[in-house]
Amino acid sequence: MNILGKKYFYLAALLGFSECGLAQTEKGKIDFETYNPPSSLVVPEHVITKSKFPFIDVHNHQNNMAAQNLGALLSEMDKLNMRIMVNLSGRGGSYLASAVKHVSETTSNRLLIFTNISFQGLGTSGWIETAVRQLEDDVKAGAKGLKIFKSLGFSVKDDKGTVVAVDDARLDPIWQKCAQLGIPVLIHTADPKQFWDKPDADNERWLELLTQPGRNRSASDGFSWEQLIQQQHNLVKKNAKTTFIIAHFGWYANDLDHLGKLLDSFPNMNVEFGAIIAELGRQPRRAKQFFDKYQDRILFGKDSWVPSEYTTYFRVLESEDEYFPYHKKYHAYWKMYGLGLSDEVLKKVYYKNALRIIPGIDKSLFPN
């Protein structure tokens, strides 16, 4: 067996994968997900199930808000101290109107909705005018912002069948209209760069790519990761009057120096940390410095609605705990460390920045 072969063999054994499935040992099956021995390290532990200050989650998805039991949702939010949830899956049009109506019948100020753009027919005569009018109507109906999904740049095609770039000039009237309406654009572009890299033992996301093969972009013939990210930055730069919230720290949570340079370059750019708290939790000193410096530009976002997972976010942000687990091993096989953010910074991240950026939030729900 050559050196490369041995490397694959030993890592496969460690992770519990082989060509046939799980690696076998004399004691039975071993796989990476179930191998989770308790640490013998004795250090202070602060499992935080409720945030220190009330917070606004600016990145959440509720796919049936027009009909779901909102009372039950509010009850779960209360347990976390989530004062406001922003649902980014508003869809637009009649669905958004019905969702806003359903929300208003349950609560007047706890649930906000962002609308979305339907790109079907992009490039045809009159499409952009219709899209802009719909955006205006959605805001009149109660939408507080616009969410752009990662399909823009991935799968959105124009009437000629060409994949549409994130910074396509034909979409400029949408971003300009958002500036006129005073609403932010929360945009998700691309995915972690490792999804484009070769899925092998040198890829930090290898386990995720093995368990979630649909996330593998290494054979994609579309835009590269670098192209997509540059398109997003072009979009932010050429629409300086539009406020952008970049989802997932723009996939630069593992390179905070570079992300800081972007924030310095684009005053209209803000970030939220949905699904990337694990990156922050493995570099607590550097991450704390970043939060201190850019405390006015960072918003709380979680992404998937799994209430039990919020404790990881609270613990990373609030505590100074050491060596505690993340909640999804295929996202982060490493341990977390708390940043121990100051109360001043926590308040900005939890609610003050969102109060400034997102219109129509009831400020009386929050302390000064």
Q: Which residues contact 149 (CB under 8 A, 6 or more apart)?
A: 116, 188
Model pLDDT for residues 141-165, shown as the tens digit of each residue = 999 999 999 999 999 999 999 999 9
Q: How far is CA 175 from the centre of its chain?
A: 20
Per-residue pLDDT, 21: 43
* Burial classification of residue 34, based on how many CB atoms lie within 10 Å of its CB (0-12 exposed, 13-18 middle, 19 or more buried): exposed
pLDDT (average), residues 308-317: 98
Question: C-alpha distances in angstroms, 61 versus 105, 252, 271?
Answer: 20, 22, 17
Domain chopping of the chain, boundaries:
1-35, 38-365
Beta-sheet pairing, 298-299 with 269-272 = parallel
Q: What is the DSSP letter of 163?
A: B
Find out if CATH 3.20.20.140 is the number for domain 38-365. yes
Model pLDDT for residues 232-287, shown as the tens digit of each residue = 999 999 999 999 999 999 999 999 999 999 999 999 999 999 999 999 999 999 99
Q: What's 48-69 look like in SS3?
A: CCCCCCCEEEEEECCCCCCCCC
Model pLDDT for residues 168-202, shown as the tens digit of each residue = 999 999 999 999 999 999 999 999 999 999 999 89
Higher pLDDT, 305 or 219: 305
The encoded tokens of residue 16 equal: 């519990």
Q: Which of 306, 188, 312, 310 is nearest to 246 (CA)?
A: 188
